[in-house]
């Protein structure tokens, strides 16, 4: 389905991603973990073609993603939706219009300039917002919503693209624990109910263990772990984060201690929302 073959990205003398190789053979939810600067965001940006690989190749269902140019590249980016840490919404625009911007890749310039959208698209946008539990906020300005609600608007915008893959770059880094749980459950539901592959960069090990089917650990641009959440032992965590990681810090210590416990139960949607 999806294959990375020795993908490398260099910025001058610095190498952000070094010979990354892995294969995804079925839809799943994948967490990518590692320290800041490990290459997690660059890996997603290469996949979405926001930046080009220096060497190596990415293929998706037989298509060479790294070779795409022009309209073919733009079509791929529509099929590979990105969700960012800072939401990237238009703050003074209403929520439903922000969601409808997920269709801009297939709209003409004129209709986009004047925010002219078909009734069918508007109905679908509201249905998606309802699915994410925020339909009542559709007429509000995006800036009036909480951080967790804004991130769900960003997820709704991504779903409007009807993508094959959803890439989430630190989607909960700026959220409080309760909103982080809601956003991660929303992404999990999208994977399970729609059969879409979701790849999310995550900081916390317990989040990866709770919501992901597979975890990829990166260190200094290299993939140093690729396995199930249950295989994330303390030793593996040290390989990913380094032996000098600040495990004495309360938050990190709590995360490491959970590695010896059973995998947390995923909350039901009603509990999360």
pTM recorded for the entire structure: 0.85
Mean pLDDT to the nearest integer, 157-161: 94
Taken in order 243, 249, 252, 254, is the CA torsion positive or negative? positive
Query: Is 32 strand, coil or helix?
Result: strand
Q: Which two tokens stand for residue 168?
A: 């989430």
Per-residue pLDDT at 107: 60
Domains (range + CATH), the chain: 2-272 (3.40.50.300)
Contact 175, 202 (CB under 8 A): no
**Per-residue model confidence (pLDDT) at position 112:** 55
Tens-digit pLDDT profile for residues 256-269: 333 333 344 444 43
Position 111 pLDDT exceeds 70: no
> What are 215-267's pLDDT values in tens digits?
999 999 999 999 999 998 888 998 898 866 544 332 343 343 333 333 444 44
Say if CB 31 and CB 211 are below 8 A apart. Answer: yes
Tell me how far apart the alpha carbons of residues 261 and 251 are, in angstroms, rounded to a whole number.
16
Interval 85-95 mean pLDDT: 92
pLDDT digits (tens, 9 = 90+) for 43-85: 999 999 999 999 999 999 999 999 999 999 999 999 999 999 8
């Amino acid at each position: 389905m999806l294959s990375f073959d020795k993908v490398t990205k260099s910025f001058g003398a610095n190498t952000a991603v070094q010979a990354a190789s892995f294969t995804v053979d079925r839809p799943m939810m994948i967490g990518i973990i590692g320290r800041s600067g490990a290459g997690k965001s660059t890996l997603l940006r290469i996949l979405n073609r926001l930046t080009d690989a220096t060497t190596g190749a990415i293929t998706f269902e037989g298509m060479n993603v790294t070779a795409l140019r022009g309209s073919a590249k733009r079509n791929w980016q529509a099929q590979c939706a990105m969700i960012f840490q800072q939401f990237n919404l238009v703050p003074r625009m209403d929520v439903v219009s922000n969601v409808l911007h997920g269709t801009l890749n297939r709209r003409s310039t004129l209709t986009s300039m004047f925010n002219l959208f078909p009734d069918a698209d508007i109905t679908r946008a509201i249905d998606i917002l309802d699915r994410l539990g925020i339909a009542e906020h559709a007429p509000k300005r995006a800036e009036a919503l909480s951080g967790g609600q804004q991130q769900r608007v960003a997820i709704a915008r991504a779903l409007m693209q009807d993508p094959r893959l959803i890439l989430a770059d630190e989607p909960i880094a700026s959220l409080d624990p309760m909103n982080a749980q809601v956003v991660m459950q929303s992404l999990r539901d999208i994977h399970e109910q729609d059969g879409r592959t979701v790849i999310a960069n995550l900081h916390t090990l317990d989040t990866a263990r709770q919501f992901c089917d597979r975890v990829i650990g990166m260190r200094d641009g290299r993939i140093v772990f690729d396995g199930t959440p249950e295989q994330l032992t303390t030793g593996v965590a040290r390989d990913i984060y380094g032996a000098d990681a600040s495990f004495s810090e309360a938050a990190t210590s709590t995360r490491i201690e959970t590695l010896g416990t059973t995998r947390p139960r995923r909350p039901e949607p009603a509990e999360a929302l």
